[in-house]
């Protein structure tokens, strides 16, 4: 139980932008953009599950349509023009297999690579079909991107000059991802499991395979057994087809054709990772923006603000929810066709009518209640998923940073790993060809061998994609060169929670490279890196302060804060005890720990905050009675 301390507040140390007070911790940082009112304890089912590593929570942020060179081709060197967020690499930053001076000036493609500026964040979409991506690679010559994958503009304000497919961003636009790479681990040798667009990539993440199709249109399914019917459910017959094109899932009321016309949908019978997690009683969930309201839309907020457009009046909007981005809706065993909510908040991650598929908001409902599932897949609303033409790097950055800032403010962060990866390359230029580990010789394939391994139309590996691991256990400032693919995430899940079980001998997880070399499980750092969601820059050490206190119970110290006046409305903040251990406690309070709206940019100088301090035993999460009405105040100096 929580016990009111015997002696409260011995000292408050305030850190301002120009320096730290004596004795200040060297890793003090100020959070911004994260919600408040966090919990003080991880009491989730996942925390007690046996794992082979210290990771109890895996959060996969699955973004859209980016090649490695498109975001990291010149890493860690940014142009740093005036007026844009600057990026300067740490001195010991390792090199990536990126765009060399020769590739930048004497590229074999018909257009040369060029830097996309921050004001060019919104571009047209590129062609990224299964055949086109293979044709662009031209049997490894990597010289036909302009001819086969270049796109054209479809809406206003899209930057789309000739040769756009060769464009790349640097650390002045994708600043947050470059900063995460600086302080955690990144792979420069990660690839799409197969060639093709979003749906094959999503299926690779969830099922490590694109085969096993029961029904679907021939324009999307190779060797289709026939089209799906709204009146006759797909049976357990021959599942000969392979999906190679974006097509909505059969088991989703929001798919094309709704509930009455299923002729343009696909149903699949193969097992997926959700089945294995259910069999192992492992909590999990797919959380997607717009799942509760699949008609919800948003403008490109960050781009609008950059271009001087009021997002509230922008009538160019994009749907939050995309059925063909939700891989678990293709399988009857893991579908939630009617988008039913969980029967209670406590059931998030468990098996009930929601069947593990939720709106993105329910992820935070669970996380903030200390009930984070073991495995969580996060899909941003469409305007923030990074997909060219319907999203952009700046709106994407706000989603990624807000998500990671929030996760880092939770007590569960100490046993959490975040993977940021992508579903496909969008057809953007990348100079590295993957090894072909699975051959396919069909009319859809170009340069993928003269034989077919297993089900046809599964040529892979496909294009190179970004892949980052962010965790207290991630190695610091490491670029890993181990060959991995989208199913390497599944392999980690299987190895950590499922005793190395694989879906099948033919599924790609059976051959996936491991990502464990991106971790250091013996030397956890405990580090958190709070970034500005709009600029992606590291937030300064201005506005964090410590509360030192003692108690008669040796346990982790926690602090309740509120804007007052008085003791009403206090909330428990996400803090870590940095004290001497037994009865002396030092709690660092960050800006995002304090009550306020989502997007809070830190502690406000000149503001008075009210707090109480308590200790919490590790075994329970019982609330105290507002410290019996006794609390204290602190005013943050203005300068």
Nearest to 506 by CA among 212, 82, 165: 212
Say how many C-beta atoms besides its own lie within 10 A of residue 115's C-beta. Answer: 17
If you write DSSP's letter for every residue of 456-498 in order, what string do you get? Answer: SS--BS-SB--EEEESTTBPTTEEE---EETHHHHHHHHHHHS
Alpha helices, H only, 289-391: 301-307, 361-368
Beta bridge partners of 14: 545
Q: How far apart are CA 330 and CA 228, in angstroms?
A: 12
Q: From CA 409, how far away is CA 84, in angstroms rounded?
A: 28
Strands (E), 257-390: 265-268, 284-288, 297-298, 318-319, 357-359, 375-379
* Rounded distance between C-alpha atoms, residue 111 and residue 120, angstroms: 18
- pLDDT at residue number 240: 86
Handedness of CA 24, 25, 30, 34 (dihedral sign): negative
Regions of the chain where pLDDT drops below 50? 1-40, 541-546, 549-557, 574-583, 585-588, 590-603, 615-629, 639
DSSP state of 122: -
Angle subtended by helix axes 487-497 and 198-207, to nearest 10: 20
Res 615: pLDDT: 45
Contacts of 210 (CB under 8 A, 6+ apart): 194, 196, 200, 203, 204, 242, 243, 244, 455, 457, 458
Q: How far is CA 379 from CA 274, 383, 396, in A?
A: 16, 11, 11
The predicted structure's pLDDT at residue 604:
54
Q: 628: Cβ–Cβ under 8 A, 6 or more apart, which residues? A: 4
Nearest to 269 by CA among 333, 340, 346, 355: 333
User: CA torsion sign, 168 to 171 to 175 to 176?
Assistant: positive
pLDDT confidence of residue 238: 73
| Per-residue tokens: 157 | 């304000």
Quick one: tokens of 554? Answer: 């040796």
| Cα–Cα dist 373/47, whole Å | 9
Tens digits of residue pLDDT in 610-628 = 665 554 433 232 333 344 4
Structural domain spans, the chain? 2-32+539-635, 210-269
Q: 271-301 b/e with 16+ CB inside 10 Å = b?
A: bbbbbbbbeeebbbbbbbbbbbebebebbbb
Q: Do 463 and 129 meet the contact criterion of CB atoms below 8 Å apart? A: no
Q: Region of 33 please: left (phi>0), alpha (psi -120 to 50) or beta.
A: left
Q: Is 384 within 8 Å of 289 (Cβ atoms)?
A: yes
- Report the alpha-carbon distance of residue 594 to residue 319 in Å, rounded: 32
The answer, yes or no, to whether the previous bond of 76 is cis (omega within 30 of 0) is: yes
Residue 509 to residue 500: CA distance in whole angstroms: 10
Q: Report yes or no: 175 and 79 within 8 Å, Cβ to Cβ.
A: no
Are 422 and 413 in contact by the 8 Å Cβ rule? The answer is: no
Q: From the CB of residue 62, how many other CB atoms can be counted at a distance below 10 Å?
A: 25
Q: Kindly report each contact of residues 579-582 with a partner whose C-beta sits within 8 Å and lies 24 or more positions away, as own/partner.
A: 579/548, 581/554, 582/554
| Cβ-based neighbour number of residue 619 at 10 Å | 10
Q: How far apart are CA 542 and CA 141, in angstroms?
A: 51
- The C-alpha atoms of residue 74 and residue 69 are separated, in whole angstroms, by 8
Percentage of the chain with pLDDT > 70? 78
Q: Which residues pair with 610 in a beta bridge?
A: 562, 633
Residue-level pLDDT at 336: 98
Structure tokens at 190: 């990660």
**Dist. CA 212–CA 235, nearest whole Å:** 12
Residue from 514, 475, 482 nearest 496 by CA: 514
- Per DSSP, 588 falls in state E
Cα atoms in the Cβ-side hemisphere of radius 13 Å centred on 455? 25
DSSP 409: T
Q: How many CA atoms lie within 13 A of 412 on its CB side?
A: 31
Say if residues 605 and 639 touch (Cβ distance below 8 Å): yes
pLDDT at 7: 27
The predicted structure's pLDDT at residue 540? 55
Of 627, 475, 607, the closest CA to residue 559 belongs to: 627
Give the single-character DSSP code of 63. Answer: E
């Amino acid at each position: 139980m929580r016990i009111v301390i015997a002696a409260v507040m011995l000292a408050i140390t305030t850190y301002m932008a120009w320096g730290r007070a004596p004795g200040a911790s060297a890793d003090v940082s100020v959070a911004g953009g994260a919600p408040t009112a966090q919990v003080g304890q991880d009491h989730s089912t996942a925390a007690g599950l046996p794992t082979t590593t210290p990771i109890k929570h895996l959060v996969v942020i699955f973004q859209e349509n980016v090649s490695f060179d498109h975001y990291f081709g010149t890493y860690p060197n940014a142009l740093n023009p005036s007026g844009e967020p600057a990026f300067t690499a740490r001195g010991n930053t390792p090199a990536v297999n990126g765009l060399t001076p020769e590739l930048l000036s004497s590229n074999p493609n018909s257009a040369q690579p060029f830097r996309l500026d921050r004001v060019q964040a919104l571009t047209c979409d590129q062609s990224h079909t299964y055949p086109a991506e293979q044709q662009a690679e031209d049997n490894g010559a990597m010289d036909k991107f302009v001819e086969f994958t270049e796109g054209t503009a479809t809406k206003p304000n899209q930057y789309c000059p000739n040769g756009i497919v060769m464009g790349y961003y640097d650390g002045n636009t994708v600043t947050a991802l470059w900063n995460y790479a600086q302080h955690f681990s990144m792979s420069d040798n990660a690839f799409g499991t197969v060639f093709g667009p979003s749906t094959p990539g999503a299926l690779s993440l969830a099922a490590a395979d694109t085969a096993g199709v029961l029904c679907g249109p021939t324009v999307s399914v190779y060797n289709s057994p026939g089209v799906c019917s709204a009146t006759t459910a797909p049976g357990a017959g021959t599942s000969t087809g392979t999906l190679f094109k974006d097509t909505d899932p059969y088991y989703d009321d929001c798919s094309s054709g709704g509930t009455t016309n299923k002729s343009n949908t696909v149903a699949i019978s193969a097992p997926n990772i959700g089945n294995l997690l259910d069999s192992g009683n492992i909590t999990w969930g797919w959380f997607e923006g717009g799942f509760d309201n699949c008609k919800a839309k948003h403008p490109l907020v960050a781009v609008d603000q950059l271009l001087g457009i009021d997002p509230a009046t922008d009538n160019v909007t994009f749907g939050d929810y995309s059925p063909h981005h939700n891989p678990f809706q293709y399988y009857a065993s893991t579908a939630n066709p009617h988008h039913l909510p969980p029967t209670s908040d406590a059931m998030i991650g468990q098996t009930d009518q929601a069947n593990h598929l939720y709106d993105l908001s329910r992820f935070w409902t669970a996380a903030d209640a200390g009930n984070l599932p073991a495995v969580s897949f996060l899909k941003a609303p469409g305007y923030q998923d990074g997909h060219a033409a319907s999203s952009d790097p700046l709106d994407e950055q706000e989603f990624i940073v807000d998500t990671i800032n929030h996760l880092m403010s939770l007590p569960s962060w100490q046993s959490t790993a975040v993977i940021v990866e992508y579903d496909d390359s969008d057809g953007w230029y990348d100079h590295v060809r993957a090894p072909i580990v699975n051959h396919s010789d069909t009319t859809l394939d170009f340069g993928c061998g003269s034989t077919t391994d297993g089900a046809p139309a599964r040529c892979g590996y496909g294009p190179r994609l970004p892949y980052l691991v962010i965790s207290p256990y991630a190695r610091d400032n490491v670029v890993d060169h181990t060959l991995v693919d989208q199913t390497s995430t599944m392999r980690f899940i299987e190895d950590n929670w499922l005793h190395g079980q694989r879906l099948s001998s033919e599924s790609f997880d059976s051959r996936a490279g491991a990502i464990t070399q991106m971790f250091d499980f013996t030397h956890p750092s405990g580090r958190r890196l709070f970034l500005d969601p709009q600029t992606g820059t590291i937030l300064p050490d201005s506005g964090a302060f410590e509360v030192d206190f003692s108690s008669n119970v040796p346990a982790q110290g926690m602090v309740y804060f509120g804007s007052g006046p008085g003791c009403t409305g206090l909330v428990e903040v996400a803090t870590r005890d940095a004290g001497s251990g037994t009865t002396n406690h030092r709690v660092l309070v960050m800006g995002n720990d304090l009550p306020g709206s989502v997007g809070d940019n830190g502690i406000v100088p000149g503001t008075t905050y009210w707090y109480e301090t308590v200790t919490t035993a590790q075994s329970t999460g019982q609330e105290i009675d507002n410290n019996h009405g006794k609390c204290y105040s602190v005013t943050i100096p203005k300068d």
